[in-house]
Amino acid sequence: MTEKREVVWHQGEVSSAERQALPGFRHQPFVFWFTGLSGAGKSTIAFALERQLISMGIACCVLDGDNIRHGLNRDLGFSPLDRKENIRRVAEVARLMMHAGLIVITSFISPFRDDRSMARSIIGTEHFREVYLNASLDVCERRDIKGLYRKARSGEIPGFTGISSPYELPENPDITIDTSFLTIDSCVKSLLSNVRL
């Protein structure tokens, strides 16, 4: 974008503390940023965690990769540039939702370290919990619940993470969950035991 824009930030009057004093919002909002291979369990655990938080009376919501690509990001593909824009938009939306008082759970492969670090800086490092859902390529490929690995192996899907496009391992995730061995329930418990609500 090159044109000069006369856009000025308009500061609202309601503080975060005031918003959090409302019923149902008595917790510090933050973002759980899930990352991991396709099939690692991001969506499954994100929605199970949402279920659990709601039953504890905590306002939260999920931003799910495939779902967002049906709407907000339907114009984006899977080139590195489009993946970056996908993550940038989601991080901005997550930040808005967090400021509205929600715990936000994002479920995106987010394979590139630079993109995850961009998300961290958009959201603010103090609010950002990087959660690495660690399941080996072998486990994810054996699950292949959507048949995508089979298509990627046969060349039907180009640039597929783990097969023909890289997944850059998180170097210092806040939380790592191994979904190969744990039940979905224990993954959720382990996540909850790692954060202060």
Q: Is 83 in the site for ligand ADP (CB under 6 A)?
A: no
User: How far is the C-alpha of 2 from the C-alpha of 15, rounded, in Å?
Assistant: 34
172 binds ligand ADP (CB under 6 A): no
Phi and psi (nearest 5°) for 23? -60, 140
**Which CB sits closer to ligand ADP, 27 or 45?**
45
By CB under 6 A, tell whether 110 contacts ligand ADP. Answer: no
CA 60 and chain centroid, separation: 13
- Residue 91 CB, nearest approach to ligand ADP (Å): 18
Q: Which is nearer to ligand ADP, 27 or 179 (CB)?
A: 179
Annotation marks residue 110 as catalytic: yes
- C-alpha distances (whole Å) from 156 to each of 65, 146, 163 are 20, 14, 12
Half-sphere exposure of 157 (CA within 13 A, CB side): 15
Positions in the binding site for ligand ADP (CB under 6 A): 36, 38-45, 107, 143, 145, 179, 182-184, 187
Active site residues: 110
